[in-house]
């Protein structure tokens, strides 16, 4: 088996770190991550080389809330620094849990976390039309204050009459540290990278990198990473066993496998909404088109059944035409 055949990029969904029905404080995140590490080390034990990515939505939201609450005491932190801070902290947590599980099993591998920056384009339409909600909920009076003070764009939340800040979510163009990541992946290192979609940066007029107030979709960055290192398998580990057609209706049915063309047809027909399965399908298609390898596969599966799915016995598989 070649290095590319051994290399698997696993994009962890929110359920891999933050428990769904709890506050999600640090002890709870560690406990959930320890359970996740068991599933990941199962793959390592089978001889696979993992590059692990993860989301950070709740964590960034909490970081921003701390910034707001402490604004009268200490200086504020911009969004790109909050993304970098949570990326580092969560990478530390995931790597520690992986290393403890590896040690328990007597495996020699060790995990490392890499804070990753991702270049975006200031000409991306997302910067003209911010749509990604972040942070807490505000009353109309509080939202007006935030708009005046910081120039935030706020949108109404009809369900409860509050407002939330929205920021751009541009497409990732390039991963700044890709050379290092590629070398580590080729050496078979166990890596945590690209957390939260990466720290968004642009090139200024002098060619320097500069952080921007934006967030990048984690699945999109994961797909870019997977194609850039030539991984044969890209996995979105989430909380559902299979992708569904007609989801939430009496006619819903699971999909075991589909081609890129079939996935595109279902996506165009509205089967995979933007707020749920849509981004994962789009990321899978992006990966398969970028990697241009007829043997490449994308897999969407339940984290708790990760081993079964990677073995071909569960999940939804997407393959080139």
Banded model confidence at residue 1, pLDDT cuts 50, 70, 90: low
The pLDDT of 140-158, averaged and rounded, is 89
Banded model confidence at residue 3, pLDDT cuts 50, 70, 90: low
Segment 247-266, tens digit of pLDDT: 989 999 999 999 999 999 99
Segment 19-41, tens digit of pLDDT: 767 778 999 999 999 999 999 99
Segment 87-111, tens digit of pLDDT: 999 999 999 999 999 999 999 999 9
Q: Which parts of the chain are beta strand (E)?
A: 7-12, 49-54, 111-114, 117-119, 132-138, 153-157, 162-167, 174-175, 190-193, 199-203, 209-211, 233-238, 243-245, 253-255, 257-259, 297-302, 316-319
Residues recognised as catalytic:
14-15, 132, 218, 280
Note the pLDDT of residue 146: 86
Q: How far apart are CA 70 and CA 67, in angstroms?
A: 5
Note the pLDDT of residue 2: 61
Note the pLDDT of residue 129: 92
Segment 170-194, tens digit of pLDDT: 999 999 999 999 999 999 999 999 9
Q: What is the DSSP string of 125-160?
A: GGGTS--EEEEEEE-HHHHHHHHHHH--EEEEETTT
Note the pLDDT of residue 159: 83
Note the pLDDT of residue 13: 85
Note the pLDDT of residue 5: 72
Segment 283-315, tens digit of pLDDT: 999 999 999 899 999 999 999 999 999 999 999
Percent of the chain residues past pLDDT 70, beyond the cut? 98
pLDDT score of 123 more than 80: yes
Q: How far apart are CA 287 and CA 79, in angstroms?
A: 27
Closest CA to 151 of 132, 162, 172, 166: 166
Residue ranges and CATH numbers for the domains of the chain are 20-129+168-218 (3.40.1160.10), 135-166 (no CATH), 232-321 (3.40.1160.10)
The pLDDT of 4-18, averaged and rounded, is 85
pLDDT score of 236 more than 70: yes
């Amino acid at each position: 088996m070649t290095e590319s055949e051994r290399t698997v990029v696993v994009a962890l969904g929110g359920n891999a770190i933050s428990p769904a029905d709890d506050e999600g404080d640090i002890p709870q995140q560690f406990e959930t991550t320890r359970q996740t590490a068991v599933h990941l080390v199962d793959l390592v034990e089978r001889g696979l080389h993992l590059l692990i990515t993860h989301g950070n939505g709740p964590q960034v939201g909490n970081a921003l809330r701390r910034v707001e609450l402490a604004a009268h005491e200490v200086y504020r932190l911009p969004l790109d620094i909050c993304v970098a801070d949570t990326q580092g902290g969560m990478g530390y947590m995931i790597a520690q849990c992986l290393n403890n599980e590896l040690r328990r099993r007597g495996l020699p591998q060790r995990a490392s976390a890499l804070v990753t920056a991702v270049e975006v384009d200031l000409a991306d339409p997302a910067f003209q039309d911010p749509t990604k909600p972040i942070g807490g909920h505000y009353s109309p009076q509080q939202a007006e204050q935030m708009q005046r003070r910081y120039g935030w764009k706020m949108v109404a939340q009809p369900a409860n009459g509050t407002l939330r800040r929205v920021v751009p979510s541009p497409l990732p163009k390039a991963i700044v540290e890709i050379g290092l990541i590629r070398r580590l992946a080729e050496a078979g290192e166990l890596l945590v990278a690209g957390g939260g979609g990466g720290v968004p940066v642009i090139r200024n007029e002098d060619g320097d990198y500069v952080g921007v107030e934006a967030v990048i979709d984690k699945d999109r960055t994961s797909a870019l990473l997977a194609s850039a290192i030539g991984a044969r398998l890209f996995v979105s580990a989430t909380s559902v066993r299979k992708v569904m057609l007609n989801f939430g209706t009496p006619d819903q049915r699971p999909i075991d496998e589909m081609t890129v063309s079939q996935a595109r047809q279902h996506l165009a027909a509205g089967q995979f909404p933007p707020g749920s399965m849509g981004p994962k399908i789009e990321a899978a298609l992006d990966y398969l088109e970028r990697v241009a390898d007829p043997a490449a596969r994308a897999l969407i599966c339940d984290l708790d059944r990760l081993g079964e799915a990677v073995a071909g016995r569960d999940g939804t598989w997407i393959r080139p035409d």
